[in-house]
Amino acid sequence: MPKFSVILAAAGRSSRFQNPAVRKPLVLLRQKPIWWYSVELFRARSDVHQLIAVVAPDDIDEFRLQVSRFSATIKIDVVSGGNERADSVANGLALVHASCDFVAIHDAARPCIDANLIERVFVAAVRTGAAIPAIPVHSTIKRSADGRLIEGTVDRTGLYLAQTPQVFRREIVCDLYSNRGGYNATDESQLAERQGIEVALVEGSPLNLKITTPQDLALATACLDVLPTPRFDAPIDPRSESTLRR
């Protein structure tokens, strides 16, 4: 069975969250930290052999306190984040065990992931070497430089909204970051695009939202109400048909 290491990206500045007293991943959602929901799903899988949390330097003590309170039985390696997301993920990669075959990078601010989505993207990564979940864009997209006046309409044909976890064979993602040359990619698949690595698209979920503003907490609470019952420890089957395209 392939072995996975999971990097939880929790070092963002949370500038749009409008609460300087606490960063998003440490905020409580239904009396539990936002990061806790995805960690619970990952740690329930027998193929996940390592959990790494990349946390802002000022938040490390508070994060460790939350771990001891909510997940005392879970071993989570904690590392300090960098100035940009790519720097933070690179710090997390430095802790990945050489025994792990794949690395999954997941936004801590996405608590409404479900076990079936994780299974789909893990399976696709085993089959192809690199996979991310995504959902097609259905809304009409407008372009505006100043946020006040419309400049044009963007053709949405073939457009997808990228989600996490983004999963790569360990050697691939380590090479992507070794060769990024300081480029601040907003996700791992962007580095793959720049370096000519094919990434499979897996059917994501509209419930897998990323909490960005305080209003998103209410949406996340509603999403948790309708998520399917988790089916833990599903076996990886490389023959599973789970990709949208490759």
Q: Is 0.85 topped by the overall pTM?
A: yes
Q: How far apart are CA 103 and CA 125, in angstroms?
A: 10
- Euclidean distance between CA atoms 119 and 45, whole angstroms: 10
pLDDT of residue 243: 46
DSSP 160-210: EEE-S-EEEEHHHHHHHHHT-TT---SSHHHHHHHTT---EEEE--TT-PP
Query: Using 50, 70 and 90 to split pLDDT, how confident is the model at 242?
Result: very low
Tell me whether strands 141-143 and 152-154 are parallel, antiparallel or unpaired: antiparallel
For 153-175, the pLDDT digits (tens) are 999 999 999 999 999 999 999 99
* Amino acid identity, position 37: Y
What lies within 8 Å, CB to CB, of 126 at 6+ separation is 2, 102, 236, 238
Whether the Cβ atoms of residue 188 and residue 166 lie closer than 8 Å to each other: yes
Residues 53, 95: Cα–Cα separation, whole Å: 10
pLDDT recorded at residue 70: 85
Give helix then strand counts, H and E, for the chain: 7, 13
pLDDT for res 99: 97
* Higher pLDDT among residues 238 and 56, named by residue: 56
pLDDT at 230 over 70: no
Measured between alpha carbons, how far is 194 from 176 in angstroms, rounded to an integer?
A: 9
pLDDT tens digits, 180-197: 998 989 999 999 999 999
The radius of gyration of the chain from alpha carbons, rounded to an integer in Å, stands at: 18
Which pLDDT score, from 0 to 100, does residue 24 have?
Answer: 65
